[in-house]
Chain A
């Protein structure tokens, strides 16, 4: 098998609020021999604001990036679940309607034939590298750490577009967390919505949804919640109320810890969380 190589699209949040997600994804990819070449000059996918307000914009903004990846002859690795869905949705619509595809080509001033396959990094690590290969590289099993794998919306829904996992009870992240030695708990809220883009405009709604998710994870005995999306991270990490905060971690940070990323790098990740994960990790002698 040849080397796994992708054009990597970090997305806007990974440059700012979720920089530790970007750093940990790259660190893990390096250890697993996955070559992630950052897409040169990538631009925003338009996210929810694009599709809520204008159809052509919701297609053209992702298509500009897809066209650049197509030119490189690679497939695309995406870290943000929201960007992931926008690219999958754009591919779905443009592949089904040639006239629409040509209209979008005109808008972006580049050809796009719809050839790029879009994959989330969690999918690439778990399925393409494979759990067996990951297990072989584990240096520090996360023994005793109880985790709630949180998928949110955009990885699993709509299932016919994302083609990721079961939309009601996905297992991919649970299996990965078990592979690196942790214990993924069974819980009720793995695909509940965190409120997404209502973060600033209806913070009250986000606070309620975040509270319910965090409560469900605690009730199930989890010591931390694990995400694969920078927006879920932002909502869950910054909008918890009450004194007892449950730490939220990117799946890639935990992989990095288990796969032996140096402690200088990992401690810089832990520092970036509002709800600090250090207590939970220390309790199991992991840091």
Chain B
């Protein structure tokens, strides 16, 4: 069921089916939230989010689907679990964030940050070799995100890269594993 309501952002749709779906998929007891803000107070990344965690929970309850799925919050959440550990109502916030992230990917929405791009590049590295080759991960991510062409930060990035290389922190060649095909098969079936 969808209800149109007036909010500070003008008229918005409250999609109650979305609220139900998120609750079911995340298996978190979102209805228990009484907005005490323990989650947002302890969240190390809250300062950078467009909505804080307790606001996301309220917006999910209200079915404000677009606002939730288009938020930077769901991607900036570092899954550190501080919120869930401190929640007086035992609400599992990381599974909630995971559910929202996965929905965003399935619906192929525009993402508010480059974080999902990092995840895609990371998993692609696993898919192609069975293990992550960190040097290739860094280079691919910087290429895909455009950070490689960010000339303002290029010098700093290059300096750090050279330092890491000289200290032997970047293995040049990827590890070869026999089970790479098995890992690829897992990805194919999903």
Residue ranges of A at the interface with B (Cβ–Cβ < 8 Å) = 12-13, 15-17, 19, 41-44, 46-57, 60-61, 64, 107-109, 153, 157-159, 167-168, 191-193, 195-198, 200-202, 204-205, 208-209, 238, 271-274
Contact = CB atoms under 8 A, between A and B. Distances in A.
28 contacts: A16-B169, A17-B169, A41-B177, A42-B177, A43-B130, A44-B130, A53-B120, A54-B190, A57-B123, A60-B186, A60-B190, A61-B186, A108-B186, A153-B81, A157-B81, A157-B85, A159-B85, A193-B44, A193-B78, A193-B80, A197-B78, A200-B142, A201-B113, A201-B117, A205-B48, A209-B44, A238-B164, A272-B167
Interface string B11-35: 0000000000000000000000000
Contacts of A57: 123, 186-187, 190
B129 to A, nearest CB: 9
A56 B123 contact: no
Given A60-B186, A205-B45, A49 B169 contact: no
A192 B190 contact: no
Nearest to B137: A200
A200 B138 contact: yes
A56 B186 CA distance: 9
A272 B119 contact: no
B164 A46 contact: no
A107 B190 CA distance: 8
A108 B182 contact: yes
B59 interface: no
Contacts, number: 170
B131 A13 contact: no
Contacts of A274: 160, 163-164, 167
A87 to B, nearest CB: 15
Interface residues of B, number: 59
A53 B117 contact: no
Contacts of A159: 85
Interface of B: 44-45, 47-48, 76, 78-82, 84-85, 94, 98, 101-102, 105, 113-120, 122-123, 126, 130-135, 138, 141-142, 145, 147, 160, 163-164, 167-171, 175, 177-180, 182-183, 185-187, 189-190
Given A49-B123, A53-B119, A153 B183 contact: no
A62 B119 CA distance: 17
A43 B132 CA distance: 9
Contact of B185 (A41, A44, A109, A208): A109
- Residue of B44, B98, B115, B185 with highest tally of chain A CB at under 10 A: B44
Contacts of A202: 48, 76, 113-115
A201 B122 CA distance: 12
A49 B118 contact: yes
B131 A15 contact: yes
Contacts of A272: 167-169
- Where chain A touches its partner, the secondary structure class is helix
Contacts of A56: 190
Contact of A192 (B44, B120, B135, B171): B44
Given A193-B82, A201-B117, A41 B186 contact: no
A57 B44 CA distance: 27
B79 A53 contact: no
Contacts of B171: 15-16, 19
A197 B186 contact: no
A240 to B, nearest CB: 11
Contacts of A204: 48
B122 A49 contact: yes
B134 A16 contact: yes
A51 B141 CA distance: 19
A279 to B, nearest CB: 16
B79 A51 contact: yes
Nearest to B43: A193
A12 B115 contact: no
Given A16-B134, A61-B183, 9 more contacts: A43-B180, A51-B79, A57-B123, A158-B81, A197-B122, A200-B118, A202-B115, A272-B168, A274-B163
A55 B81 CA distance: 17
Contacts of B123: 46, 49-50, 53, 57
Contacts of A19: 168-169, 171
A52 B113 contact: no
